[in-house]
Amino acid sequence: MDPSRAYLDAGGRAPLHPAGRDAWVAALADGWADPRRLHSEGRRARLLLDQARAEIAAGLGCRVEELHLTANHTVSLHRAVAAVTHGRRRVGRGVVVTAVERAAVLAAARVTDPDLDPVPVDRTGRVDLAAWAAAVAAPGVTLAALQHANGEVGTLQPVDDAHAAARSAGVPLLVDAGASVGHVSVGPPWDLLAADPGDWGGPAGVGVLAVRARVRATPTGPEDEQPWAPGGVSVPAAVGAAAALTAVLADRPAADVRRRALLARVRAAAALVPDVEVVGDPGASLPHVLTFSCLYVDGEALLGELDRRGFAVGSGSACTSGSLEPSHVLAAMGVLTHGNVRIALPREATDAAVDAFCAALPQAVATVRRLLGVTGL
C-alpha cells in the first residue's frame, strides 16, 4: 500500500495478512494442481486443501466434515439459504430475517419467500427479540437468518437468544459471521455459519460455510461431486485463508483493545463535527467498525474529498455502487441515511493515521458543505 495514504476501509476486504500472503504464495508453487487428480501433484494439492479445511474448522469450532469451502462469501450465503429451504421445503416457504441483513441474504430469502417481511430493529441496529421469537414460531418457517454483527454499523446481535428461540421452534439458524470472524468471538449457537476470509485478511477467491450435521440441507443445482462448490475452489486461496485465520485468532485480544482505543478517537472526533450523527451501539459492537452520517453533505462527494486528502474510507450508502439508493441498514434503523462514512480499521492502522483522519474530517465536511452552498453551521 501507498505509505502516504491511510486505508480505513477494511470491512469485507482487508489487506492481506502477512501470514496469509506467505502461505498463499507458497501454495501457488505446491498446490497448483487439481486436488481431484490421483497423481503426486494432485495428491499434494489435496493434502494442502484438507489441511486448510481442518485449520479453518478448528478456528470456527466445528468438525471438519461440517466445513465447506465456496467461491466467496456471497455464494456461501446464497447456497446456505437455497440448500436449507430446499431440504425443508415440506415444512413451508417462510424465511425469517432482520431488516438489516446483508443484501445477499435478503435476495436469497426472497427467492423462496416472495412475501418476506423482515423483523424490525432498534436505532442501534439490534433485532427486536420479541418480534423475532414470534416470527420464528409462526407456521411454515423453514429457515431463520441473523448476522452475528452488522458490518456497516458494527452492532452485535443477540445471537444466543435468537438461536434459542429458533431452536425452540424447530427452525435452523443461519448466522452470517462475515463481519465477525477474526475480530470478535463467535460462539457455538448456530446451525449454519458463513464466514468471509477476505474480511480477516485472507486472499480473495474463497468463502467459508459450516453446516451442522443435524441440519437438513440439500444443495441445489446441477449434480456435481462438490455440491457446495461446483468445480472446486482455489487451493492457494484456501491455504492463505487458513493461515491468516490462525494468525488473527492468536492476536485477537490485543488487536481488540488497540483498535477499540483507536475507534474511540474517531467516534469522539466525528461527534464534534456539527450536524453529524454517529450510529450503532457504542458498546456491544465490533472493535473496528464505525459509521457516521453528515447532514447537508453528499456522501459520494465526502468520500471523494477524503480520498483526495489521502484517506480511503467506505460508505453504507449503496449509491457508491451506482444504485442511488440509501443504505437499507440505516433506513431500517431510522437514522440519517445520507452523507454516510464507514470506518473499518485494518489491523495495521496506526495512531498517526487515525489522528490525521480525525484532524482532517472537520475540514473535509466543511469543504463539501461549502461546495454545496451550505455555510454558517
CATH number of the domain bearing residue 275: 3.90.1150.10
pLDDT of residue 298: 86
pLDDT of residue 338: 85
Let me know whether 193 and 325 are in one domain: no
Has residue 377 been placed in a domain?
no
pLDDT of residue 319: 40
Contact between 140 and 170 under an 8 Å Cβ cutoff? The reply is: no
Q: What is the pTM of this model?
A: 0.94
Has residue 304 been placed in a domain?
yes
Let me know whether 331 and 260 are in one domain: yes
Distance CA 253, CA 172 (A): 30
Of 250, 271, 302, the residue at which a domain comes to its end is 250
Q: Who's near 261: CB < 8 A, 6+ residues apart?
A: none
- Find the largest Cα–Cα distance for the chain: 73
Has residue 376 been placed in a domain?
no
Has residue 95 been placed in a domain?
yes
Of 224, 250, 276, the residue at which a domain comes to its end is 250
Let me know whether 121 and 176 are in one domain: yes
Let me know whether 209 and 274 are in one domain: no
Let me know whether 195 and 236 are in one domain: yes
Assign residue 185 the CATH number of its domain. 3.40.640.10
pLDDT of residue 376: 60
pLDDT of residue 249: 97
Let me know whether 258 and 245 are in one domain: no
Has residue 166 been placed in a domain?
yes
- The answer for 83, left when phi > 0, alpha when psi is -120 to 50, beta otherwise, is alpha
Distance CA 78, CA 164 (A): 24
DSSP 183: T
Of 250, 280, 297, the residue at which a domain comes to its end is 250
Has residue 82 been placed in a domain?
yes
Let me know whether 49 and 85 are in one domain: yes
| Domain count across the chain | 2
pLDDT tens string 194-204: 999 999 999 99
**Domain of 268?**
6-14+253-371
Has residue 280 been placed in a domain?
yes
C-alpha cell belonging to residue 286: 465490533
pLDDT of residue 1: 61
Let me know whether 204 and 246 are in one domain: yes
Let me know whether 176 and 78 are in one domain: yes
C-alpha cell belonging to residue 236: 492457494
Distance CA 299, CA 285 (A): 23
Has residue 1 been placed in a domain?
no
Let me know whether 263 and 161 are in one domain: no
Let me know whether 10 and 23 are in one domain: no
3-state helix, strand, coil in the chain (%, to 5): 45, 15, 40
Q: What angle do CA 109, 114, 120 make, to 5 degrees?
A: 65
Q: Which residues of the chain have pLDDT under 70?
A: 1-2, 316-324, 376-377
The 3-state DSSP class for residue 26 equals helix
Distance CA 268, CA 346 (A): 19
Let me know whether 192 and 263 are in one domain: no
